[in-house]
Amino acid sequence: MLSSNQNDGDSVEEAKDAALASTIKHCEGKRHLFRPAKNRKGRADCFSDDLPPPETVEEATVALEWLTPEEFLQKCRMTRAAFNWVLSQTEDNEEFTTAGNIRKGRPQAPVVHQLMVFLKHIGTEGAGSNSQNQRQMFGIGQGTADVYRDRVMRAILKLRPTFYTWPNKDERKKLSKKVMKKTGFPNVVGVAEGTLFPLAFEPETEDAPDSKGRKHTCTLTVMIVCDCDRKIRYCHSGYPGSAHDNRVCRNMDLF
């Protein structure tokens, strides 16, 4: 026969085995066995550094105002008034609705965020405009940066028929009167000027040297026509930097 001490020992061992089996079963259902005392927080939304997460577009516009004009210009590459105007013209575009895109389900990021990414891209020269740089600046994926930029670009291009038109007969009369009043020159609708747009790198073509103009950098010669209200009415681009303004002008449809 077993003594009472032996029975007690067996009971203790059985209890230990049962406790161990329960612990193993509990651990098998957990993703992590141990957790630090303080969880590491993920990177905060970089957009919240410039504006709190808005409930509406109106709140987003107001929230941006805590930045100084210089800080806002450096970040978004345009004045606050211009930014708000572009936002008001594009925010209702179908590109920013789930119905306007092939991808369904998850709602889009606020339009104000997407516009900030787009403006920083087109306002930054060289490698600073690539997706890797924007990923670090805004805390978004490289693919997300591409999607934001393409989406805003398509929305802005859809505004072209409204804002990029040659003035009709009545508008030309009004513009010529303004110019006459300001300068004394009669029958002037707009002012044409050639300018150079620098290229990020030399084209990989046989005629690449043609892109090097008088400033010895790779550029494109672009002719722009503005009215007296500083609105672009016509532009002609594509000629290499070595092309003279007169040559470009003679080959414009407007000419």
* Residue scoring higher pLDDT (104 or 152): 152
CA 219 – CA 210 distance, rounded (Å): 9
The whole-number pLDDT of residue 27 equals 78
The whole-number pLDDT of residue 153 equals 94
Q: State the residue range of the domain holding 199.
A: 166-250
Do 107 and 135 belong to one domain?
Answer: yes
Do 54 and 145 belong to one domain?
Answer: yes
Decide if 25 is inside a domain. no
Do 138 and 176 belong to one domain?
Answer: no
Decide if 24 is inside a domain. no
Decide if 32 is inside a domain. no
Do 144 and 227 belong to one domain?
Answer: no
Do 71 and 155 belong to one domain?
Answer: yes
Element (H, E) at 40: none
- 52, 93, 150, 200, 242 from 197: Cα distances, Å: 36, 29, 21, 10, 12
The mean pLDDT of the chain is 80
Q: Among 160, 194, 215, identify where a domain stops.
A: 160
- CA-based torsion, 90, 96, 102, 108: positive or negative: positive
Tokens of 125: 């020269």
- What residue type is assigned to position 119 of the chain? L
Packed helices 69-76 and 80-90: angle between N→C axes, nearest 10 degrees: 50
Distance of CA 109 to the CA centre of its chain: 12
pLDDT in tens, 48-102: 656 644 555 555 555 455 667 888 888 788 888 899 899 999 999 999 886 555 5
| Residues β-bridged to residue 223 | 194, 236
Q: Among 109, 140, 160, identify where a domain stops.
A: 160
At residue 197, φ and ψ (nearest 5 deg) are -105, 115
CA 218 – CA 148 distance, rounded (Å): 29
pLDDT in tens, 175-202: 999 999 999 999 999 999 999 988 878 8
